[in-house]
Chains A and B, each alone.
Chain A
Amino acid sequence: MTDMTPPPVQIGDYTLEKRLIMGTGGITDLDALETALIASGTTLTTVAMRRYSPETKTSVFAMLERLGIDVLPNTAGCYTVRDTVLTAELAREALETDLIKVEVIADEHTLLPDVIETLEATEQLADRGFTPLVYTIDDPATALRLEQAGAAAVMPLGSPIGTGLGILNPHNIELIASRASVPVVLDAGIGAASEAAEAVELGCDAVLVASAVTRAEKPAAMAHAVRLAVEAGYHSAAAGRIPRRTHAVASSAMEGRIGTVDDLPEDRT
């Protein structure tokens, strides 16, 4: 049988082997996180950068290294270009990777991206030799601007971080994916596996999932489900869906039927 494994995604110089990127926030039990990461089959997982504290000794970084999972540092918690660039520089120095998930938020209530700061940060980071994967709003125009500014991948949100509301504007996500010449990774908002499949069906190359797994009742089980969903979405998109129609189209032959529409009782015609 042909190998049905979805091919890797090229993000700048980085080869993303599996189309599910995992987050690490939202779970306190490191062992449960480890089990979930393994169940997800992920090869790239995002981490935040924070001040070193004594509790850091049982570190998530050491765990990812042990599991052979590449690390994608993010700039979560940054509000300005200056903080974002400094955080990225620290991440590159600490973790020895050019990959950076650019995340510049507007305020702590919505956690929505500030696109003005995000655009400027993307440009500066690309100039400094980073491979920016850029968290952004689900707006096709902004996605193109980020690409022009040097984004190696654009990461539109499905809905706000941690809400589990799924993909609120599938039309926009589809438009972003169809026009982008860099990979598109759906980031934020996924609550269940079906929504991860939907993202890939809409044309996204990969999906990032954090809360949907880490805050699920059974994180490893959800991680497994999302892994299958991403793969299903890939094959579904590649297979070419049927067009949507207003009226039914019979899948059985009409010839040779034993009854006809003439047999309908009068009150049903």
Chain B
Amino acid sequence: MPTITLNDETVDLPAEATVADAVTHTTGRELHDDGRPTDGRRLGVAVALDGAVVPRSTWATTAVEDGQTLEVVTAVQGG
């Protein structure tokens, strides 16, 4: 069971969890294998794993491992 740092918080994910699982954990949105949300709306979210962007198309096949740092970001008001 990997323990990761997700948006600066310590989170335990199920064994064999992927980036897609972490995104669902954070946003509450279910995803297709290609990373698009099942509700049909745009997700507007991107992920960096240990400082490198993970393309949406590979979220479902990218495993998260113990000790990794994941950032899930989105657009907010500002600038």
> Which A residues lie at the B interface, using CB under 8 A?
23-25, 27, 33, 46-53, 56, 59-62, 65, 71, 73-74, 76-77, 86, 89-96, 101, 103, 210
Contacts and interface: CB of A to CB of B under 8 A. Distances in A.
Contact of B46 (A47, A59, A74, A91): A91
Nearest to B53: A89
Contacts of B72: 51-52
Contact of B77 (A47, A51, A73, A94): A47
A49 B56 contact: no
B14 to A, nearest CB: 20
Contact of B79 (A90, A93, A96, A101): A101
Interface of B: 7-8, 26-27, 41-48, 51, 53, 55-56, 71-79
Contact of A49 (B8, B43, B76): B76
A61 B78 contact: no
Nearest to A49: B73
Contact of A86 (B42, B43, B48, B74): B48
Contacts of B43: 94
A48 B78 contact: yes
A253 B55 CA distance: 73
Interface majority SS on B: helix, strand, loop or mixed?
A: mixed
Nearest to A85: B53
B73 A94 contact: yes
A76 B74 contact: no
Contacts of A61: 42, 44, 74-75
B79 A60 contact: no
Contacts of B27: 52
Given A48-B79, A49-B74, A61-B44, 18 more contacts: A23-B79, A47-B75, A48-B77, A49-B75, A51-B73, A52-B27, A52-B72, A59-B44, A59-B74, A59-B76, A61-B42, A76-B78, A76-B79, A90-B53, A90-B73, A93-B47, A94-B73, A95-B44
Contacts of A27: 77
